[in-house]
Amino acid sequence: MLIVMETSAPKKAIDNVCKLIEEMGLSAHPMPGAQRTAIGVTGNKSQIDSDRIMTQAGVREIIHVTKPYKLVSREFYPEPSVIEVGDVKIGGPEFIIMGGPCAVENREQTLIIAEAVSKAGAKVLRGGAYKPRTSPYSFQGLKEDGLKILAEARDKFGLKIVTEAIDTETIDLVSDYADIVQIGARNMQNYSLLKKAGRQKKAVLLKRGFAATVEELLMAAEYIMAEGNSKVILCERGVRTFADHTRNTLDLSAVPFVKRTSHLPIIVDPSHGTGRKEKVIPLSRAAIAVGADGLIIEVHHDPANALSDGPQSISPEMFEQLVHEMSTLAGVLGRTCG
């Protein structure tokens, strides 16, 4: 940590800060400069709570050097984690594609789509039984009935299932049915939910919040890991910016940043990341090329009648085309797919 003093800070203020640092069990290294003094701090094993220092007289700014995350950090686990969900391995050489409807609407719809994505080469079926919707008057999901339909689809087509948990009251039920429990973007900093996700045994797919930095995404994963569950898969799904040609701005640079900073796998959601079906395939190609470990894609056989997110859902035919393109690209990128 580095403490930057005001240019006007008197020697006494500098001494006081140094004294406080020593009291905290750390070492202070004052560096008098031409304009001002900076004080280096060493001896800390984790990030120091700097608020106390910030409020001292004469302190202008605090600069953290040590990052606040531990368990998610590549400095902690130097090798990439491979998350095993049965025989599906996420974070290894295989590029994993998850596909399915935005929402489980009924048994027939889900089984049709599950069969299609399975045949096309998806390993995981996505589908929401609990749906967080901006409006209280929109369809909110089939709840446990939806989970049962997903479980049936899993058994029938040999897929794993990923589905969202939206609150602490229902996450245990979701966990009973799911292979991977999804935490959505709106809940990325719902810490009670993260803690419960960390106390159940299934893998967790954690989506980046609309306005979350990548560091905050990693800290949210740290909440899950700190409770004992290390099977966390991160997901870039676009952030909010002024740009209005897409629903969100997909931040693909998050992928190489996460790969360098953390050992956790990261996948990309180009359906929410763009909000328009005609951009799903181009951005999927970009995602595998930038180094992501997989995709999660909204697919609907009859988007005109989908109960949610029709405009960003691709057809089973486009999904087949997508898997085909991923497979070709995987071949020249040193990975496998499909």
Least CB distance to a second copy at residue 86 (A):
29
Does 201 bind a second copy (CB under 8 A)? Our answer is: no
Could you give the strand order of the β-sheet that contains 2-5, starting from the edge strand earlier in sequence? 27-32, 37-42, 2-5, 59-63
Q: What is the 3-state secondary structure (H, E, C) of 94-136?
A: EEEEEEECCECCCHHHHHHHHHHHHHHCCCEEECECCCCCCCC
Composition of the chain by helix, strand, coil, percent to 5: 40, 20, 40
Least CB distance to a second copy at residue 100 (A):
17
Does 109 bind a second copy (CB under 8 A)? Our answer is: no
Looking at beta carbons only, is 66 or 321 nearer to a second copy? 66
- 3-state SS class at 319: helix
Question: Which residues, 292 to 311, sit near a second copy by CB under 8 A?
Answer: 303-311
Q: Amino acid identity of 219?
A: M
Candidates 42, 158, 228, 317; binder of a second copy (CB under 8 A) is 42
- 3-state SS class at 126: strand
Binding mask 131-170 for a second copy (x = CB under 8 A): -xxxxxxx---------------------------xxxxx
| 245 C-beta neighbours (distance < 10 Å), count | 9
> 88-90 and 83-85: which strand pairing?
antiparallel
- The pair of structure tokens assigned to 327 is 């497979």
Q: Please give the size of the binding site for a second copy, defined by CB under 8 A.
A: 108
Question: 61: which residues sit within 8 A by CB, 6+ positions away?
Answer: 3, 4
Q: Using alpha carbons, select from 62, 45, 52 the residue that is nearest to residue 3.
A: 62
For residues 176 and 229, give the distance between their C-alpha atoms in angstroms, rounded to a whole number.
Answer: 16
Does 260 bind a second copy (CB under 8 A)? Our answer is: yes
Question: Which residues, 208 to 237, sit near a second copy by CB under 8 A?
Answer: 209-211, 213-216, 219, 222-223, 226
User: Which residue do the tokens 């997110």 mark?
Assistant: 309
Does 279 bind a second copy (CB under 8 A)? Our answer is: yes
**In this structure, are residues 290 and 258 in contact, taking their beta carbons and an 8 Å threshold?**
no
Looking at beta carbons only, is 157 or 327 nearer to a second copy? 327
Q: Which stretch binds a second copy (CB under 8 A): 87-95, 104-112, 146-154, 206-214?
A: 206-214
Which H or E run contains 59?
strand 59-63
Least CB distance to a second copy at residue 222 (A):
6
Question: Which residues, 52 to 71, sit near a second copy by CB under 8 A?
Answer: 52, 54-56, 61, 63, 65-66, 68-69
Looking at beta carbons only, is 37 or 118 nearer to a second copy? 37
**Furthest-apart CA pair in the chain: how many Å?**
76
Looking at the DSSP bridge assignments, the partners of residue 297 are: 99
User: Which residue do the tokens 């499909």 mark?
Assistant: 338
Candidates 18, 40, 157, 335; binder of a second copy (CB under 8 A) is 40
Looking at beta carbons only, is 4 or 111 nearer to a second copy? 4
Q: Which stretch binds a second copy (CB under 8 A): 81-89, 108-116, 152-160, 278-286?
A: 278-286
Candidates 158, 186, 228, 336; binder of a second copy (CB under 8 A) is 186
Does 255 bind a second copy (CB under 8 A)? Our answer is: yes
Least CB distance to a second copy at residue 91 (A):
17
Does 114 bind a second copy (CB under 8 A)? Our answer is: no
Looking at beta carbons only, is 87 or 243 nearer to a second copy? 243
Does 193 bind a second copy (CB under 8 A)? Our answer is: yes
Does 321 bind a second copy (CB under 8 A)? Our answer is: no
User: Which residue do the tokens 């497979």 mark?
Assistant: 327
For residue 214, give Cα distances in angstroms to 37, 110, 209, 234: 32, 33, 9, 10
